[in-house]
Structure 1
Amino acid sequence: MPAEWAAHAATWMGWPQGDDLWFGHLDAVRAEFAELIRTIARFEPVHLLVRDTESEQDARERLEGSNVSFHHVPLDDVWMRDNGPIFVTRGAGAEADLSLINWRFNAWGGKFDSGHDDRVPEYVAQSLNLTHWDRPEVLEGGGLEVNGAGVGLTTRSCFLTDTRNPGLTEEGYAELLRDTLGIQKLLWLDGGLENDHTDGHIDTITRFVDEQTIVTSVEPNPADPNHATMAGNLAQLRAMTDLNGQPFRVVELPLPAERLEGAEGRLPPTYANFYIGNGFVVVPQYGDPNDIPALEVLRPLFPGREVIGLSSRAIIEGGGSFHCITQQQPLGQAWNGE
């Protein structure tokens, strides 16, 4: 599994639908999706899945002139990071062999309907004519971070729930991800943000920005429930090492300063849910005092990339942000199975 900063052939996304799924904010959500897609499409092609004629018409009107391809696919929701495929390569660059893993998706342990979204990787594989692997295990892309040099990061609060892969231990996951994704060392943090319906995905709190550098969310207020969890994660990260026993550089990234409430309680806004593409990084913004400070932390970590802040205030009502709704397709040629 290549690191996210490796060259992309495209980005895959879905178009939001269902005002009830967005608690009455669908139009604002679509406006933010459109701005994100237009931004990504300035740097690389976007493949956009649309559920029906209304969705396609709305998306086409908002995205006119952008480098976007439309695909009619039944969808339950838009969290392509989790229900989409994880691409894998052999070799490097445009001549690399490209394939994908089709994991099971059960909507974060059966919390929502997922029958249509679980079939998205098969559609992507068919669309790209990719030989691929169908796996029986449940695995969400947002639950895993990789540095492209053999190291992976995840959380116990997510992967070890009994609603995903009952009986699969830390050692079992390490073996599974070594065999499927080439992760030679799997590192574990304890948990994620309060009221995160994914049970604490790593991509909402802690991210690799290069092979040796990790950014991790911090909460300075001791009275905030996120404080202790984030402080514990920070201490654990500072003690972790790469395949050669070298410590990582760990950079602190603030969480939004203001508490956000949604229809189902506290929302989990975070700046760590950025998306890295060809020459750019898009960072969610919430109209919060820490929006600009977060960008100032991230910009020096991405030399040669334009770090762009875009609004995600409506999207976060659904529980996620930019990384959750994107899935990168690395460069490569369709593997023929040999």
Structure 2
Amino acid sequence: MQEKFGMRPTIIISDLLIKNHAAIANSLCRILDKYAIKCEILETKDIWMRDFMPFLLDDGRLVSYVYDPDYLKGDKYNNLRTKIQPLKEHINLVLDGGNFIRLGGKAIMTDKIFKENPSKTKPEIIETIKQKCALNELIIIPRQPYDMLGHSDGMARWIDKNGVLINDFSNESKSFNDRLIKALKKYGLDIKFMRYGEGFFSKTRDWGAYLNFIKINGLLIVPVYGTDDDYIAIEQIKKIYSGCSVETINLSEIIELGGALHCIMAEKFG
């Protein structure tokens, strides 16, 4: 996200994060306090705040949407569905916040958005989101074939308005990597890569989650997992985001549940 006039947003986390993952919550709160960033706690049914909380726009508006993703269908997931009442600004489409990465007038989403809204045409879906979120461009990228969530926030992150950082998926699938690059180059974006060694990606170790960081003004909080790859990832991120202060937090117990740092936080102004 891009901060309003340099203001720092208030970070929102779930009460369940504090109850069930106290060490992570405490570490996160210490980092936020160090940089004088406010943190609020919200009672929810799920720790994945990003998925259901409204989008924060640069002018301070919050935009709600229909949070009814296909990966939470069935009665067994009733305990995970945290519903947000529709706001004045509302997108009448099924989507979730993990698949919305915005900077200013541009946003990136995977093509999962089309599957979630089969009654709408692709142009209708794109135009609706662009209008409601004050976007000039909505960039659609392919989702990873085995990712049932279809989120973009572990695949691509903005460096600046003309540049994106993506995982180098070539070790996993050259054809998918080529499709991802093609989709981004269509919009004239400068692409930088997070590179890993052979065998880094697998169906059980989809750790694009190093990109699942949170950026607040000049602060970057990056998840690490207590592995040898942490150093490789952090050194690349520090080089690419050279103007930022970088803090790390161990998210190893969270990643096992299917998400990382960006997933457990939402923002608002004020």
TM-score, normalization: structure 1? 0.69
Question: 1:146 matched to which residue of 2?
Answer: 102
Alignment match of 1:174 (pick from 126, 129, 136): 126
Deviation per residue, 1:158-210 (Å, 9 max, x gap): 2122xx3222232112211221101122221111373x341x21111111121
Alignment match of 2:40 (pick from 42, 47, 70): 47
In the alignment, the residues of structure 2 paired with residue 316 and residue 4 of structure 1 have an alpha-carbon distance, to the nearest angstrom, of 27
Give 5+ residue unaligned stretches, structure 1: 20-25, 50-72, 91-97, 123-130, 242-246, 332-338
Alignment match of 1:106 (pick from 68, 71, 76): 68
Deviation at 1:220, TM superposition (A): 4.3
Question: 1:137 matched to which residue of 2?
Answer: 93
Matched, 1:118 2:70: no
In the alignment, the residues of structure 1 paired with residue 22 and residue 102 of structure 2 have an alpha-carbon distance, to the nearest angstrom, of 30
Change (3 A) 1:197 1:7: farther
Alignment match of 1:229 (pick from 176, 189, 193): 176
In the alignment, the residues of structure 2 paired with residue 306 and residue 113 of structure 1 have an alpha-carbon distance, to the nearest angstrom, of 39
Change (3 A) 1:187 1:233: same
Deviation at 1:35, TM superposition (A): 1.4
Matched, 1:252 2:217: no
Deviation at 1:77, TM superposition (A): 0.6
In the alignment, the residues of structure 1 paired with residue 199 and residue 11 of structure 2 have an alpha-carbon distance, to the nearest angstrom, of 31
Task: Answer yes or no: is the 8 Å Cα contact 2:66–2:93 preserved in 1.
Answer: yes
Task: Answer yes or no: is the 8 Å Cα contact 1:13–1:78 preserved in 2.
Answer: yes
Deviation at 1:143, TM superposition (A): 0.6
Deviation at 1:105, TM superposition (A): 1.0
Amino acid at match of 2:82: D
Question: 1:7 matched to which residue of 2?
Answer: 7
Deviation at 1:304, TM superposition (A): 3.5
Amino acid at match of 1:173: I
Amino acid at match of 2:223: P
Task: Answer yes or no: is the 8 Å Cα contact 2:3–2:217 preserved in 1.
Answer: no
How is 1:285-304 mapped onto 2 (pairs within 5 angstroms)? 285-304=224-243
Amino acid at match of 1:232: R
Change (3 A) 1:330 1:255: farther
How is 1:56-205 mapped onto 2 (pairs within 5 angstroms)? 73=43, 75-90=44-59, 98-111=60-73, 112-113=77-78, 117-119=82-84, 132-148=88-104, 150-156=105-111, 158-161=112-115, 164-192=116-144, 194=146, 196-198=147-149, 200-205=150-155
Deviation at 1:37, TM superposition (A): 2.9
Matched, 1:274 2:267: no
Amino acid at match of 1:316: I
In the alignment, the residues of structure 1 paired with residue 258 and residue 25 of structure 2 have an alpha-carbon distance, to the nearest angstrom, of 14
The structure with more radius of gyration: 1
In the alignment, the residues of structure 1 paired with residue 232 and residue 3 of structure 2 have an alpha-carbon distance, to the nearest angstrom, of 23
Amino acid at match of 2:24: E
Alignment match of 1:31 (pick from 4, 23, 29): 23
Amino acid at match of 2:23: A
Question: 1:216 matched to which residue of 2?
Answer: 166
Deviation at 1:80, TM superposition (A): 1.0
Deviation at 1:211, TM superposition (A): 0.8
Amino acid at match of 1:11: I
In the alignment, the residues of structure 2 paired with residue 312 and residue 192 of structure 1 have an alpha-carbon distance, to the nearest angstrom, of 22
Tell me, what secondary structure is at the counterpart of 2:9? strand
Amino acid at match of 2:227: D
Deviation per residue, 1:84-106 (Å, 9 max, x gap): 1112243xxxxxxx321121212
In the alignment, the residues of structure 2 paired with residue 41 and residue 233 of structure 1 have an alpha-carbon distance, to the nearest angstrom, of 37
Task: Answer yes or no: is the 8 Å Cα contact 2:9–2:268 preserved in 1.
Answer: yes
Change (3 A) 1:100 1:227: same
Amino acid at match of 2:2: A
